[in-house]
Amino acid sequence: MSESTSASVPDPLSRIAELPGVSDAVEETRTLVDRLLGHRILRRRSSDVSMESSLRGACASAALEGAEVSMDEIRDGHVYDTRIKGALRIGGELGTLVETWPQAPRQALARLHTLAAADAVSEEALGRPRLEGERIEDPLELGPAPSAAGAAARLEGLYTLLGSRTKVPALVTSALVHGELMAIRPFGWGDGLVARAAERLTLVERGLDPKSLVTSELGHQTLKDEYGPALRGYMAGTPEGVAEWVVYCCRAVRAGAQDSLATCEALKRG
């Protein structure tokens, strides 16, 4: 799917795409992702790279939630932590949500949370936005989240954003999706797993990474010391904070693309 559509459709994110530093960060990231997509090994081993990326992304995303698990344990099937089990379920089903994401984002987001939290919350809470007074996990120490009513209102805005087809680069849209979900923390448990999956899903659906090769979650783990501060800058809502968040997300995607390039080279060497 192309990253852009008709110019007649208003661009709700165009001002963000034009903030200082964003265009250069987007271009640098797109160049590296294109290099990955052009790797010769993908002609016959694309599915292997995508699978490895999914596993490594799940491990990294769970680690950012506080889970302690190694890739060796994942490969051996020795997975007991609810966070890594949720991340692996998300990775296994992400590709089935690509078409649903722009058409029914509410449904797709509910499914992501159901996959993330199946072993962690009550059945009635799966896929259901949090209610007032319910506990909100905060592994990144972002601080207070919006009220349940405030979160619901912001989610509606996010659904509108996802339904719009604009000329704004996929990297900008995916960063805003990730940032909004982390700021809203709509479910209370597993929000980080959902937000990072939604970022990756947006990159796939909007055409930057159509085969889901980029380990963007690992990029955030690589830059984990910057992750929380960048998010808090986004949550402050200033143009500077939003621009720095988008640039940070571009760097994380670059780190994820670099990791997948290393996977390609390892497969090439046999």
What is the C-alpha separation between 247 and 268, in angstroms, rounded?
Answer: 31
Q: Where are the alpha helices (DSSP H) in the chain?
A: 14-17, 22-37, 42-64, 71-76, 82-93, 100-103, 105-117, 148-163, 170-184, 191-205, 216-222, 224-236, 239-269
Whether pLDDT at 115 is above 70: yes
pLDDT band at 13 (very low <50, low <70, confident <90, very high): confident
| Per-residue model confidence (pLDDT) at position 10 | 59
Instruction: Kindly state the average pLDDT of the residues 248-262.
Output: 98
| Per-residue model confidence (pLDDT) at position 2 | 41
Give 57-99 as a DSSP string. HHHHHHHHTT----HHHHHHT----HHHHHHHHHHHHGGGGTT
Distance of CA 225 to the CA centre of its chain: 17
| Per-residue model confidence (pLDDT) at position 163 | 83
Q: For the chain, what is the mean pLDDT?
A: 94
Percent of all residues in the chain with a pLDDT value above 70, rounded to a whole number: 96
Whether pLDDT at 8 is above 90: no
Q: Which superfamily does CATH assign the domain made up of 13-36+44-265 to?
A: Fido-like domain (1.10.3290.10)
The DSSP 8-state label assigned to residue 134 in this structure reads: -
Q: Which of 128-132, 163-167, 231-235 has the lowest mean pLDDT?
A: 163-167
136-158 pLDDT tens trace: 999 999 999 999 999 999 999 99
218-229 pLDDT tens trace: 999 999 999 999
Instruction: Kindly state the average pLDDT of the residues 64-73.
Output: 91
Provide the residue type at 72 as one letter: D
| Per-residue model confidence (pLDDT) at position 77 | 84
Instruction: Kindly state the average pLDDT of the residues 95-101.
Output: 97
